[in-house]
Amino acid sequence: MTTRMTHRTGFSRQTAFSVYQALVVLPILGLLVYAAVAEPGQFTDPSLLAWIAILAVVELLPVSAWRDLHVSMGLPILIAVAVLYSPAAAAAVALVGAVDPRELRREVDPLRALFNRCQIACSIWVAGVVFHAIAAKDASVPLVLGGAVAAAAADYLVNMTLVTGAGVILYRLSPAQMIQKLRIGNLSEFLISY
């Protein structure tokens, strides 16, 4: 599950949020450009296009969480891509395939849409790094499963950190309050679904 922000607020909070968005977007885009220049072969596998298409279809079915926050159901797909490909390639799939229906209806401005995509890409990039540090594609099943669980946990921590930061700025909630708003169901239901 991945969450997205879409709330409009007053000028000062909006300005702070725009700065926050830029501080997330610019490094991620910079790292992707660097990765593409340093090792372009990791982005040339034609099957990446299929993963982007599959992700885009799944992303068109978001689940409402709280206020204007939505939860994505694309995490299993993104974790699979993070397992099968390099972290940078997985992040690129996330960036391109994380389609938000609100983008199509022009309900989110371009910077917000890019922020949503980049924070998902960042989460998956970290998940890929964690997985590949623990297991290789041809490792034993327990090692692969452990790596996948660790990758999902890393994705969750990065995603929640970035979205919580945005929510703290936009809604003037404490980080603990924001994290509570982002969790769906009771803790056991949330952990099982994740």
Number of C-beta neighbours around residue 97 at 10 A:
25
Q: How confident is the model at residue 125 (pLDDT cuts 50, 70, 90)?
A: very high
Residue range 14-33: mean pLDDT, rounded: 95
Strand partners, 63: 71
Report d(CA 131, CA 120) in Å as an integer: 16
Tell me the percentage of the chain whose pLDDT exceeds 90. Answer: 57
Q: Which of 1, 46, 47 is nearest to 156 (CA)?
A: 1
* Dist CA 23 CA 18 (whole Å): 9
pLDDT above 80: residue 114:
yes
Residue 43 pLDDT > 90: yes
Q: Enumerate the β-bridge partners of residue 71.
A: 3, 63
Report CA Rg, the chain: 16
The letter for the amino acid at 117 is R
Predicted TM-score of the model (pTM): 0.84
Average pLDDT, the chain: 86
Place of tokens 């090792």: 39
The distance from CA 43 to its chain's CA centroid, rounded to whole angstroms, is 19
CA-CA distance, 1 to 188, in Å (whole number)? 15
Listed in sequence order, the DSSP H helices in the chain are 11-38, 47-59, 75-84, 87-97, 101-104, 110-134, 141-171, 175-182, 187-193
What local confidence, expressed as pLDDT, does residue 139 receive?
86
Whether 191 shows a pLDDT value over 70: the answer reads no
Most confident of 9-23, 29-43, 128-142: 29-43
Q: How much is the pLDDT for 17?
A: 92
Residue 64 DSSP class: E
* Higher-scoring residue by pLDDT: 17, 187: 17
The gap from C-alpha 20 to its chain's centroid, in whole angstroms, comes to 16
The pLDDT, as a whole number, for residue 100 is 86
Query: Mapping DSSP to helix (H, G, I), strand (E, B) and coil, where does residue 135 land?
Result: coil
